C-alpha cells in the first residue's frame, strides 16, 4: 500500500510544489513507484513537469467530479516510476460546484482507493490556503509533510497548521505530521541558523536532518519543465532532494510492494 503524503502549509511560496516535484522525482529514481497529485488550480506542479494545463484531456478536476472512475484515466507518466495527475484552472470552479455536496472533503480520498495499491508513494500538492482542496489533501493523506520556510516567523506558521490537522481528524483520525523539512535555507545568515536551531529544538525528530538550501537552479528548473535531478544533477538543490528522499525512505520503509 502506498504511503500517502500531503505537502501542507497554509502559506504560499514556502517550497510545497518544489518539494513535491523534486522529492517525488528523487523517490522514483530510487526505484519507487510514485504518483504526484496537483490539486492546485495554479497548476505549478503540472507546468513544472513540462505539461501545459490548457492541453490536458483530463485532470484532477474530472477525478473529483467522477470519483467512481478512479484516477488512472487522468494519470500521465512523466518518466520511469513517476506519474502525475495534473491540474488545470478549471479546478478553481470545482470549489463552487461542489459547495453543496455532502462529503465533498472526502472526494480525493475515495478516488484514490485503487491507486493506493498501485503506488509506493503518493505525494499531494495543494494550494496555499485552507480551502476545499487542502481539506481533501488532509483527508486523503496518511501523513502531512510540512515544508517550513526558515525565516523569522517560521514557528508562527505551525500552530495554525496543527489546529487544522486537529479539525481534519474528524474526517481522518490517524492523520499526523510525518515530518518537517526546512526550506529556502540560507545558512550564511545568523538569523537562518538561529531559526533552524529553534525549529529543531521545538520539533525534535520530526524535523528532517536534510535541509533544502536556497538554490537558483531549483527556481529555474520548472521553466525547463524538468525536475532538478534532470536539470542540474550536481546542484546543491539536487543533492539536497536526493538526501531528503533517502531520509524519507528510511522513515517510511524501502520495501517495494508491487
Closest alpha carbon to 17 in 218, 207, 229, 160: 218
Q: DSSP letters along 161-185, please?
A: HHHHHHHHTTT-TT-EEEEEEEESB
Nearer to ligand ADP, 88 or 183 (CB): 183
Q: Which does 143 bind (CB under 5 to 8 A by kind): ligand ADP, Mg ion, none?
A: none
Q: Which does 222 bind (CB under 5 to 8 A by kind): Mg ion, ligand ADP, none?
A: ligand ADP
Q: Which does 50 bind (CB under 5 to 8 A by kind): ligand ADP, Mg ion, none?
A: none
Nearer to Mg ion, 34 or 118 (CB): 34
Binding positions for ligand ADP, rule: CB under 6 A:
12-18, 44, 128, 183-184, 212, 214-215, 218-219, 222, 237
Nearer to Mg ion, 95 or 246 (CB): 95
**Residue 31, Ramachandran bin (φ over 0: left; ψ between -120 and 50: alpha; else beta):** left
User: DSSP class of residue 11?
Assistant: S
Q: Which does 14 bind (CB under 5 to 8 A by kind): ligand ADP, Mg ion, none?
A: ligand ADP
Closest alpha carbon to 182 in 160, 203, 161: 203
CB of 67 to ligand ADP, least distance (A): 25
Q: Which does 13 bind (CB under 5 to 8 A by kind): ligand ADP, Mg ion, none?
A: ligand ADP
Q: What is the largest CA-CA distance in the chain?
A: 52
Nearer to Mg ion, 3 or 16 (CB): 16
CB of 103 to Mg ion, least distance (A): 26
Cβ 129 vs Cβ 10: under 8 Å: yes
Burial letters 51-73, b for 16+ CB under 10 A, else e:
bebeebebbbbbbbeebeebbee
Residue 98 CB: number of other CB atoms within 10 A?
16
CB of 128 to ligand ADP, least distance (A): 5
Amino acid at each position: 500500500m502506498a504511503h500517502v503524503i500531503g505537502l501542507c502549509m497554509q502559506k504560499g511560496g514556502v517550497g510545497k510544489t518544489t518539494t513535491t516535484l523534486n522529492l517525488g522525482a528523487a523517490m522514483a529514481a530510487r526505484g519507487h513507484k510514485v504518483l504526484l497529485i496537483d490539486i492546485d488550480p495554479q497548476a505549478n506542479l503540472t507546468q513544472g513537469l513540462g505539461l501545459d494545463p490548457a492541453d490536458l484531456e483530463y485532470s484532477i478536476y474530472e477525478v473529483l467530479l467522477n470519483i467512481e472512475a478512479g484516477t488512472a484515466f487522468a494519470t500521465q507518466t512523466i518518466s520511469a516510476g513517476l506519474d502525475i495527475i495534473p491540474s488545470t484552472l478549471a479546478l478553481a470552479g470545482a470549489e463552487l460546484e461542489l459547495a453543496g455536496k455532502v462529503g465533498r472533503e472526502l472526494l480525493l480520498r475515495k478516488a484514490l482507493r485503487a491507486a493506493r495499491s498501485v503506488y509506493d508513494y503518493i505525494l499531494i500538492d495543494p494550494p496555499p490556503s485552507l480551502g476545499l482542496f487542502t481539506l481533501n489533501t488532509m483527508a486523503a493523506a496518511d501523513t502531512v509533510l510540512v515544508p517550513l520556510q526558515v525565516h523569522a516567523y517560521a514557528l508562527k506558521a505551525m500552530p495554525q497548521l496543527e489546529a487544522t490537522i486537529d479539525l481534519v481528524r474528524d474526517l481522518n483520525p490517524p492523520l499526523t505530521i510525518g515530518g518537517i523539512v526546512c526550506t529556502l535555507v540560507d545558512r550564511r545568515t545568523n538569523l537562518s541558523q538561529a531559526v533552524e536551531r529553534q525549529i529543531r529544538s521545538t520539533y525534535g525528530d520530526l524535523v528532517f536532518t536534510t535541509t533544502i538550501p536556497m538554490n537558483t537552479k531549483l527556481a529555474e528548473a520548472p521553466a525547463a519543465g524538468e525536475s532538478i535531478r534532470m536539470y542540474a544533477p550536481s546542484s546543491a538543490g539536487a543533492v539536497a532532494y536526493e538526501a531528503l528522499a533517502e531520509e524519507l525512505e528510511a522513515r517510511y520503509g524501502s520495501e517495494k510492494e508491487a
